[in-house]
């Protein structure tokens, strides 16, 4: 209905029961069933939609749009409805600029809200009741380090809880923290935990674990650094690294475990070392540097009381400058006790150096002892001692090293006798030779020692050649004559087997130079009795034998044979003998061959790593390899068969008969006598494959290949292919010839009923299931199973088959059926003959009928 309602003026109502209770309200508009039904005195209200209404009957300028929408205040507009409000359902959406609103209010396009508080960069912010106002933008990117420090409120946002992975800063510019000295909040008390702290206010840095108060504000030095476990850097600009290390003074540095740097500019390194003096340094284990500039290093130097730890004037000259500790843990308890402390060297600030004496007590100038220089000795010891760097102006009659009485002269090192000149003129080397002249049967010079090193070395340099000379002649020393046919001299070796210190020595071996009656000389090395090594005057060397070649070695006795005249090394024995090479498991051994043109042409090498033998030739290149499993490779170092021949080009293997005899190879399987073995041979120009069942004691030809034919070894004993092992195609110029000689046949009978059989045949077209046979080409033929019912003679369902362990073939049923198509021809011929007879009969009948007409 379109009507004016009540006593009010200018009202418009469209629909049933619209503005039904209006009494004095004016300028109201209601569209839809029961719209504005509750308005009685309200003015300028609008309702669009079924059951739209006002919450009070006297509202003004109120608008409700949408089914069951209700407006509850004057000067208000409600679009749609919200669950629980107005009694509307929850699925009423309002769209502006869209026909399919997706939410309670869906606006497509720009939104403009102007209340006088809008400004550039401001955003709408909701309070707890959902009222939005324009406020300044606060950037919040939740979950990242880009979020604002205060999160929009003072004091917030200073803690990052990294409990799902470490904090990562990507990019090329790293992390920079700036601040102002003296500004900012102090560090709060820190509990037991791992910490990383940087505080610009006092410019200190801490990294590690702390379980004490060492990192609290009161114990932190300005511009200090402390890394590690419970370290302390309380001095200004101090540094502490390690575990429990302390730097308590200005610019002090402590590194290590439980070290302390307590003096200004001091440094402590190591374990429990302490630097107390100004600019002092303590290195090593449990050392203490007390005085100014003092340096202590090593292990456990002795302690003392310094005159000052801040000065180094004349009154402090007796303080230590440099100390090297060498404490020894005498009781092996890994604890340094005061009684174990000691010093290897002490240098005082006045320059005096104190060293431990042989009794391990300190010596100094007060003892009448000191460390002096070579120059002092050279200046003050002339004519009183021999200089260690040489002497001048000496007179051999008055200046000498020796004795002027009948006592022996001994030479010692480490307080042990190493050489002795006896009063009788003997010269003895060593520390075990008795000081006695009872060695009358031996030479003037004697060498003897209990040590493992008892060498006598002759050395020379430049053009001089060191030599140990043995001279022998006939006649006298003043008038020598020629000496021949005897020993020129020997070097003897004696073995002690007696009881006294001077007797009981027996000969254990010697080196003898011998000259023959012709003047030819030889050198013989022998044991206690027999000669073992002989070097002849021709340069031949024999071991156990008078040498016939440059090196001649006898193992157990002569062989009785004669060696080649060009032999250089002859190894001879009357029993088994071997040349044995022993090398580490990762090395090779072998023989190499070369010439003046090349140092190595080839060789025979055994590789211990792979346990294989290599034969080399043509520039020391591997040609043949026998690996550790017995495989032989020619042209390959990794044969996978007992014999493998490999080459990058064409490669052939050859077996040659030089007297026009057979040549070939044999394949033998040792085992059952029924197993077949094979021989492949060139037999008068034919390639013959022969088979044997008695380990190749005798063979029977199975296949012959000549230049003109491929023949079975024995007539009518072999098949070409089988029912399940077939050739894809067989090509022949003149077709396949079947033997048809009457002399080869028996039980010959005429063929009957040809036409009937032909009429029962079922010719078909087909394709092979295996498309690899001929790419699924179409064929014509018969199905063997059907043909077996009509002409069973042409269907192949049995064949001769030979198993691996049987000597003779066995007539065996086939796995697949085959057809002998050529034997169908006689059936076809018989059918044509029978058909021709029928044709002739019909022809005769036709002729008779034609005559009757």
pLDDT at 478 over 70: yes
pLDDT digits (tens, 9 = 90+) for 480-511: 888 888 887 777 777 777 766 556 667 777 77
790 phi/psi in degrees, rounded to 5: -105, -55
Strand partners for 588: 607
Around Cβ 514, how many Cβ atoms within 10 Å? 18
pLDDT digits (tens, 9 = 90+) for 127-140: 888 788 888 876 55
pLDDT at site 92: 66
Closest CA to 51 of 81, 7, 95: 81
pLDDT at site 781: 94
Mean pLDDT across 157-175? 75
Please state, in angstroms and rounded to a whole number, the distance separating the CA atoms of residues 301 and 574: 74
pLDDT at 52 over 80: yes
pLDDT at 534 over 60: yes
Please state, in angstroms and rounded to a whole number, the distance separating the CA atoms of residues 751 and 525: 106
Total number of residues shown for the chain:
853
- Per the CB < 8 A criterion, the answer to whether 54 and 41 are in contact is no
Question: Which is higher by pLDDT, 841 or 620?
Answer: 841
Cβ burial of 547 (10 Å; 0-12, 13-18, 19+) is buried
pLDDT digits (tens, 9 = 90+) for 75-91: 888 877 654 344 444 56
Please state, in angstroms and rounded to a whole number, the distance separating the CA atoms of residues 726 and 823: 19
Three-class SS state of 843: helix
Please state, in angstroms and rounded to a whole number, the distance separating the CA atoms of residues 489 and 512: 6
Q: How far is CA 406 from the centre of its chain?
A: 75
Output the CA angle 839-842-847, nearest 5 degrees. Answer: 125
Task: Compute the mean pLDDT over every residue in the chain, rounded to the nearest whole number.
Answer: 83
Mean pLDDT across 293-303? 95
pLDDT at site 88: 43
Q: How far is CA 688 from the centre of its chain?
A: 55
Please state, in angstroms and rounded to a whole number, the distance separating the CA atoms of residues 838 and 44: 121
Mean pLDDT across 33-53? 92
pLDDT at 162 over 80: no
Mean pLDDT across 702-731? 81
pLDDT at site 675: 67
pLDDT interval class at 651 (50, 70, 90): confident
pLDDT interval class at 776 (50, 70, 90): confident
703 phi/psi in degrees, rounded to 5: -150, 135
pLDDT digits (tens, 9 = 90+) for 238-270: 999 999 999 999 999 999 999 999 999 999 999
Separation in Å, CA 150 to CA 146, 197, 472, 602: 12, 20, 111, 85
pLDDT digits (tens, 9 = 90+) for 319-356: 999 999 999 999 999 999 999 999 988 999 988 887 76
pLDDT at 843 over 90: yes
Q: Strand 521-526 vs strand 531-535: parallel, antiparallel, or unpaired?
A: antiparallel
Please state, in angstroms and rounded to a whole number, the distance separating the CA atoms of residues 226 and 199: 13
Output the CA angle 287-293-294, nearest 5 degrees. Answer: 30
pLDDT at site 612: 95
pLDDT at site 713: 84
Question: Which is higher by pLDDT, 1 or 547?
Answer: 547
- Which range, of 208-212, 364-368, 688-692, 706-710, averages the lowest pLDDT? 364-368
Please state, in angstroms and rounded to a whole number, the distance separating the CA atoms of residues 12 and 2: 7
Q: Strand 46-48 vs strand 53-54: parallel, antiparallel, or unpaired?
A: unpaired
Portion of the chain with pLDDT greater than 90, in percent: 35
Separation in Å, CA 553 to CA 539, 576, 610: 14, 14, 31
Per-residue burial over 9-40, b if 16 or more Cβ lie within 10 Å, else e, is eebbbbbebbbbebeebbbbbbbbbbbbbbbb
Around Cβ 746, how many Cβ atoms within 10 Å? 6
Q: What is the DSSP string of 17-68?
A: TTTTT-SS--S-EEESTTTTTT-SS-BS-EEESTT-EESSTT-BS-EEESTT
Please state, in angstroms and rounded to a whole number, the distance separating the CA atoms of residues 793 and 636: 56
Question: Which is higher by pLDDT, 452 or 642?
Answer: 642
pLDDT at 804 over 80: no
DSSP conformational letter for 611: T
pLDDT digits (tens, 9 = 90+) for 569-619: 889 888 888 888 889 999 999 999 888 888 889 999 999 999 999 999 988
- Per the CB < 8 A criterion, the answer to whether 152 and 140 are in contact is yes
Around Cβ 666, how many Cβ atoms within 10 Å? 14
pLDDT at 533 over 90: no
Give Cβ neighbours of residue 279 (< 8 Å, ≥ 6 apart).
263, 264, 265, 266, 292, 293
pLDDT interval class at 434 (50, 70, 90): low
pLDDT at site 372: 56
Mean pLDDT across 515-536? 76
pLDDT at 148 over 50: no
pLDDT at 553 over 60: yes
Strand partners for 515: 486, 521
- Which range, of 70-74, 320-324, 494-498, 826-830, averages the lowest pLDDT? 494-498
pLDDT at site 84: 38
Hey, what are 431's tokens?
């520390």
Give Cβ neighbours of residue 829 (< 8 Å, ≥ 6 apart).
754
pLDDT interval class at 303 (50, 70, 90): very high
Portion of the chain with pLDDT greater than 70, in percent: 84
Three-class SS state of 317: coil
Alpha-carbon Rg for the chain in angstroms: 61
pLDDT digits (tens, 9 = 90+) for 219-233: 999 999 999 999 999
pLDDT at site 674: 61
Hey, what are 544's tokens?
């156990």
Mean pLDDT across 524-541? 77
- Which range, of 392-396, 517-521, 562-566, averages the lowest pLDDT? 517-521
pLDDT at site 519: 75
Most confident of 130-139, 422-431, 742-751: 742-751
pLDDT at site 362: 53
- Which range, of 116-130, 340-354, 381-395, 398-412, averages the lowest pLDDT? 381-395
318 phi/psi in degrees, rounded to 5: -85, -5
Q: Strand 123-126 vs strand 132-135: parallel, antiparallel, or unpaired?
A: antiparallel
Q: What is the DSSP string of 203-263?
A: TEEEEEEE-SSTTSGGG--TT-EEEEES-EE-STT-EE-SBS-EE-STT-EE-SBS-EE-S
């Amino acid at each position: 209905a379109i009507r004016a309602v009540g006593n009010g003026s200018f009202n418009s109502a469209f629909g049933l029961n619209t503005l039904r209770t209006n009494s004095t309200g004016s300028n109201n508009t209601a569209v839809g069933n029961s719209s504005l039904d509750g308005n009685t005195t309200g003015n300028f209200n609008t309702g669009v939609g079924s059951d739209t209404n006002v919450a009070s009957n006297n509202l003004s300028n109120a608008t409700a749009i949408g089914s069951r929408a209700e407006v509850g205040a004057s000067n208000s507009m409600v679009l749609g409805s919200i669950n629980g409000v107005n009694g509307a359902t929850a699925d009423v959406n309002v769209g502006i600029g869209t026909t399919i609103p997706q939410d309670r209010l869906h606006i497509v396009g720009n939104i403009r809200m102007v209340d006088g508080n809008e400004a550039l960069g401001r955003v709408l912010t909701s309070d707890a009741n959902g009222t939005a106002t324009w406020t300044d933008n606060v950037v919040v990117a939740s979950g990242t380090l880009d979020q604002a420090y205060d999160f929009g409120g003072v004091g917030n946002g200073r803690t990052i809880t990294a409990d799902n992975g470490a904090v990562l800063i990507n990019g090329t510019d790293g992390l920079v923290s700036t601040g102002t000295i003296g500004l900012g909040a102090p560090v709060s008390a820190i509990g037991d935990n791992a910490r990383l702290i940087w505080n610009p206010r006092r410019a200190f840095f801490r990294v590690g674990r702390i379980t004490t108060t060492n990192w609290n504000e009161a114990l932190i030095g300005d511009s200090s650094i402390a890394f590690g476990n419970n370290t302390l850097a309380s001095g200004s600009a101090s540094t502490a690294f390690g575990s429990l290390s302390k730097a308590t003074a200005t610019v002090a540095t402590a590194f290590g475990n439980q070290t302390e740097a307590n003096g200004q500019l001091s440094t402590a390194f190591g374990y429990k070392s302490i630097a107390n003096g100004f600019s002092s340094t303590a290195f090593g284990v449990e050392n203490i540097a007390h005085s100014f500039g003092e340096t202590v290093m090593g292990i456990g130097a002795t302690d003392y009381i310094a005159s000052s730890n801040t000065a180094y004037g004349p009154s402090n000259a007796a303080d230590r400058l440099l100390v090297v500790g060498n404490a020894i843990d005498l009781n092996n308890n890994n604890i340094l006790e005061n009684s174990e402390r000691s010093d290897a060297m002490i240098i005082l600030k006045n320059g005096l150096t104190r060293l431990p004496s042989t009794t391990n007590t300190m010596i100094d100038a007060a003892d009448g002892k000191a460390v002096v220089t070579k120059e002092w000795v050279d200046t003050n010891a002339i004519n009183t001692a021999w200089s260690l760097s040489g002497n001048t102006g000496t007179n051999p009659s008055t200046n000498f090293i020796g004795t002027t009485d009948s006592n022996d002269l001994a030479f010692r090192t480490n307080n042990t006798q190493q050489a002795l000149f006896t009063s009788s003129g003997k010269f003895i080397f060593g520390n075990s030779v008795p000081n006695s002249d009872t060695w009358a049967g031996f030479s003037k010079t004697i060498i003897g020692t209990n040590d493992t090193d008892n060498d006598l070395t002759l050395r020379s340099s430049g053009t001089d050649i060191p030599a140990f000379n043995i001279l022998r002649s006939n006649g006298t020393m003043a008038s020598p004559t020629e000496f021949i046919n005897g020993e020129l001299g020997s070097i003897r070796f004696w073995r002690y087997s007696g009881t006294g210190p001077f007797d009981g020595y027996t000969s254990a071996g010697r080196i003898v130079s011998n000259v023959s009656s012709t003047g030819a000389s030889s050198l013989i090395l022998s044991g206690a009795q027999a000669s073992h090594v002989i070097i002849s005057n021709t340069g031949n060397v024999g071991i156990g034998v008078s040498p016939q070649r440059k090196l001649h070695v006898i193992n157990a006795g002569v062989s009785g044979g004669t060696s080649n005249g060009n032999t250089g090394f002859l190894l001879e024995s009357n029993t088994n003998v071997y040349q044995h090479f022993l090398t580490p498991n990762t090395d090779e051994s072998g023989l190499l061959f070369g010439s003046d043109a090349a140092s190595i042409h080839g060789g025979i090498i055994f590789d211990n790593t792979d346990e294989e033998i290599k034969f080399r030739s043509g520039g020391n290149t591997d040609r043949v390899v026998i690996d550790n499993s017995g495989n032989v490779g020619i042209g390959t170092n990794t044969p996978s068969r007992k014999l493998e021949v490999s080459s990058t080009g064409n490669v052939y293997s050859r077996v040659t008969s030089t007297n026009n005899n057979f040549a070939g190879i044999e394949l033998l399987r040792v085992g059952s006598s029924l197993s077949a073995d094979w021989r492949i041979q060139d037999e008068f120009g034919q390639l013959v494959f022969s088979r044997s069942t008695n380990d190749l004691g005798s063979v029977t030809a199975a296949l012959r290949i000549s230049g003109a034919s491929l023949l079975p070894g024995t007539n009518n004993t072999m098949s070409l292919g089988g029912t399940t092992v077939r050739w894809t195609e067989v090509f022949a110029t003149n077709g396949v010839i079947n033997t048809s000689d009457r002399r080869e046949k028996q039980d010959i009978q005429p063929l009957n009923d040809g036409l009937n059989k032909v009429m029962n045949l079922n010719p078909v077209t087909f394709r092979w299931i295996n498309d690899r046979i001929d790419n699924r080409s179409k064929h014509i033929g018969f199905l063997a199973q059907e043909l077996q019912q009509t002409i069973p003679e042409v269907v192949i369902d049995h064949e001769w088959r030979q198993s691996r362990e049987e000597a003779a073939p066995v007539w065996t049923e086939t796995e697949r059926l085959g057809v002998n198509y050529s034997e169908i021809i006689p059936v076809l011929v018989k059918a044509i003959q029978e058909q021709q007879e029928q044709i002739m009969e019909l022809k005769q009948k036709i002729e008779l009928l034609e005559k009757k007409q």
